[in-house]
Structure 1
Amino acid sequence: MAATAVVQDPRLGEAVGNPAKLKALARQASNAAADYRDGAAARGDRVHQYCEQIALRAMGKPHQAAEAREALAANNEEPFAGRFDEWWDTYQVQPLAAEVTVWNSSVGYAGTLDLVATIGGRLCLIDYKTRGTGRDGRVKPLDPKVIMQLAAGAKAEEMVVDPAAGTWEPWKYSQDPMLLGVAIGQTEVQTVMANPEVLPAYWSKFWSLRQVWGATQKVTDAGIALREVGPPPPLAP
């Protein structure tokens, strides 16, 4: 990314032969990966915000759908909204809850599900991913690890009711849900379903990673791991 940033910088021509200007370009290009990451994260936040507002609107709740779409348009990202709207109508999504914070006290983790909805009469737990477009014009496919997030959501024990008041209720969306990953791009939206046959393996991996994380925290909090030891006292003559 740094090399590409230098090559595509319009100031490169005038910087050739000027060490000071070349150093300035190199210094700026060294941040290319971080800038890309931060830009992608901000774009993802704007797309997720729009998706949440559409769900709230469909549920008859207060929403800011228009403002969320304007924020996308201001960043030349409105095609994401257009493709999402097409997906929403085509799949006839019936939202039940949006941006649901869940908790599992047995294993010890919390997280947020983007959407709980019924599609075609089937209960679905949905995770959105904002994705770029490949050279073929198709949205880039999802990483299979999205299954771990969805499996963890399906194993929730409680869900937040009022975050301000801190009230929770038992998780009520565990009736054999379909787990869907939705890749939202500027040219299309791709929907994939977690294969039920692999869910136990992915849940096992998630559970194992949680145990490793917990063990690491215990080691970190345990104190000094190595202490210097001096030599023994001299033997008596």
Structure 2
Amino acid sequence: MAATAVVQDARLGESVGNSAKLKALARQASNAAAEYRDLAAARGDRVHQYCEQIALRAMGKPHQAAQAREALIANNEEAFAGRFDEWWETYQVQPLAAEVTVWNSSIGYAGTLDLVATIGGRLCLIDYKTRGTNRDGRVKPLDPKVVMQLAAGAKAEEMVIDPAAGTWEPWKYSQDPMLLGVAIGETEVQTVMANPEVLPAYWSKFWSLRQVWGATQKVGDAGMPLREVGPPPPPAA
């Protein structure tokens, strides 16, 4: 990314032969990856916000769907909204809950599910990912790690009802849900299902990572791990 940033910088031509200007370009290009990450995160937030508002509108709840779409338009990202709208209609999504915060007290983790819905009469837990487009004009595929996120969501024990009041209720969407990852791109939306045969393995990995995290916290709070030890006293004369 740094090399690409330098090559595409309009100031490169006038900087050739000028070490000070070249160093300035290099310093700026070194931040290319971080800037790309931040821009992608902001874009993902806008797309997720739009998806949430569409679900709220479909459930007859207060929403800001128009404002969310305007935010995408302002950043030349309306294509994401268009492809999502097509997906929503094609899959005949019937939303039950959007942006649901869940909690598992037995293991000790919390998270958020983008959407709980029925599709084709089947209960679905859905995680959205905003993805770029490859050279063939297709949306880039999802990372398999999404299976861990979905498996953790499926193992929830409680869900928040009112975050301001801090009220929760037992998790009620555990009836053999289909776990779906939805890659939202500018040219298409790709929907994939977590293979039920691999779910135990991915859940085991998530559980193990949670234990490692907990152990690391304990080690960090345990105190000084190493103490200097001096030599023994000299033998008595």
Cα offset for 1:17? 1.0
Please give the per-residue CA displacement for 1:48-91, whole angstroms capped at 9, x wherever unaligned.
00000000000000000000000001000000000000000000
Separation of aligned partners in 2, 1:228 and 1:7: 53
Cα offset for 1:23? 1.2
Q: How does 1:65-84 map to 2 (within 5 A)?
A: 65-84=65-84
Cα offset for 1:38? 0.2
Q: SS in structure 1 opposite 2:125?
A: strand
Return the TM-score normalized by structure 2: 0.99
- How many pairs are equivalent? 237
Return the TM-score normalized by structure 1: 0.99
Residue 116 of structure 2 corresponds to which residue in structure 1? 116
Separation of aligned partners in 1, 2:108 and 2:180: 24
Aligned alpha-carbon RMSD (Å) = 0.5
Identical-residue share of aligned pairs (%): 92
Which is worse superposed, 150-159 or 14-23?
14-23
Please give the per-residue CA displacement for 1:110-155, whole angstroms capped at 9, x wherever unaligned.
0000000000000000000000000010000001110000000000
Cα offset for 1:19? 1.4
Separation of aligned partners in 2, 1:143 and 1:14: 41
Which is worse superposed, 212-221 or 19-28?
19-28
Which is worse superposed, 36-45 or 13-22?
13-22
Separation of aligned partners in 2, 1:54 and 1:108: 31
Can you give the 5+ residue segments of structure 2 that lack an aligned partner in the other structure?
none
Please give the per-residue CA displacement for 1:10-49, whole angstroms capped at 9, x wherever unaligned.
1100111111211111111110000000000000000000
Runs of 4+ in 1 over 6 A off after TM superposition: none
Separation of aligned partners in 1, 2:17 and 2:145: 47
Which is worse superposed, 109-118 or 12-21?
12-21
Separation of aligned partners in 2, 1:23 and 1:210: 43
Residue 139 of structure 1 corresponds to which residue in structure 2? 139
Cα offset for 1:181? 0.1
Separation of aligned partners in 1, 2:92 and 2:178: 15
Cα offset for 1:98? 0.2
